[in-house]
Structure 1
Amino acid sequence: MLDREFSSEGIRFYNLGISNAHAMDLYMTIDRVLEARPTYIVLISDLNMISSRYAYPKLRPYFNHDAIPAIVSHLGFREVWRERTEFLHSFLGELFPFYRFRESIGRILQEEVLILAGMSKRKPFLRFAYSKRMSAFDEKILNERLAKEKQGKGARPEEVSMNEWIFESCVKKIIEMGIPFLVVDAPYYPGVKEKYFSKMFAPYHSFMLLLSERYGFPYFSDADLNFLERDDFVDHTHFTRSGRVKFTNFISELIRERKWLAKKNRDL
């Protein structure tokens, strides 16, 4: 939607979002992002980037050797040994690209064979927010699911320390390259953060404010997103069309307020 918003001004946006993004994911991919020499970076951050444990299976698509020294220095060699299977898969995937995507390729081939054999039908592509199963939003079901998911979600203190260190390392690289940088908290369904994630959000919010002051980038928390209403969400983090329009307009206004559009190179 941002592309359409700025189409008349010739600005291109590249969405490099990672599902359930964690600070470690950013740490392993930031060099590839910066190699593209983006003119501006808008990061939609989330408390789980700092306050949650890393899901090591995500090493496979985003693996970068720099992750190992960071993990060892903060969590010790035992952490690498405990997750040795994922590290092994990641190394093999880096050496052999086919191996990295073997499960996805196998699943696609299996589905195609079943379709060709008449044993299955091709499913229509539906974007998440347009899915029929999300047309009726039940807040009670949401609360029940979040209450279950909340258990064991938080990271250990040493993991939080590592997450903060690697996130700040990424911010430092961006700032040192002189790239204008803007951070906005990921929107949540009204009341969800307060009810389920308040203990996690408070230290995350303090950390983001500290970084914002230290490196001089603008940071907008969920307190700045109070224009979003319940009808703007299909679950606790995904938008309906009305939510997407509101959030896009908000981001657009922030970009225009930064006066970034006066730059010659117009890639975001």
Structure 2
Amino acid sequence: MPKNRNYSCKDVDMLMAAKTIAKNFKANISELSNTRTDWTVQYASDLMARIDSAIETHLGIDAKKELRVATATLAAIQTPAKRDISFFKTQIDEDFKNEISKKNEMLKTLGFEKNLRGVQKNNQESLIKLLYQFKTNMTDALRLEITAKGMKPALIDSIIGYADTFIRANVTQETLKVATKEITQEVASVFNAIYNEIISICKKAANYYQYQPVKKEQFTFAKTLSNLGEASKVKGTDSTME
């Protein structure tokens, strides 16, 4: 069951049960309308329409699809970035192995000293910091000194290019995380409102038909679920849920 729901069955089962009960409610509205001023033919029709709309609009919605795509995109960027960063450092270590102080200063200036360990542990923040420090501090003079040892400029350009690409992908991912929560909460609110309203109708109508077992059963949510093939128990212990 999705989180933030007032019911413990699947969304599809809740909505199908709600629709069945709403149909029963509408079929008996001529009698039930005598018991409450707000139970009218229009109300019964509107309730049916709301349930149908929820089914068409929200049932089966994959709110996390875009987030999964963004996350996959980020992972696709992260892998080659880490590979190029590792290859860059290996070449620096070898090309300047006889110039230890210069090598260490280069790696420190380009962000390796503080961030490499985090990058190796797949920490996105560390990767972003390293990429931006690399981009910011890769001066023309430093580039020339490095490539003079044999490193191809294309590798440096690739690492610099990852900085903007990665940050854009990361922002997209974080934005969609918030949007996904909002979508999920919106769906939960719609479904919960329908469930709560149907349960309220069930409690009142089942009590009204307490001496008419066949009709009472039509307003028993758990029984309706069972008839739909849903074996899960629903929260609550009142008579309408038995």
Which TM bucket (shorter chain)?
A: under 0.3
Structure with the larger strand share: 1
**TM-score calculated relative to the size of structure 1:** 0.24
More helix by share: 2
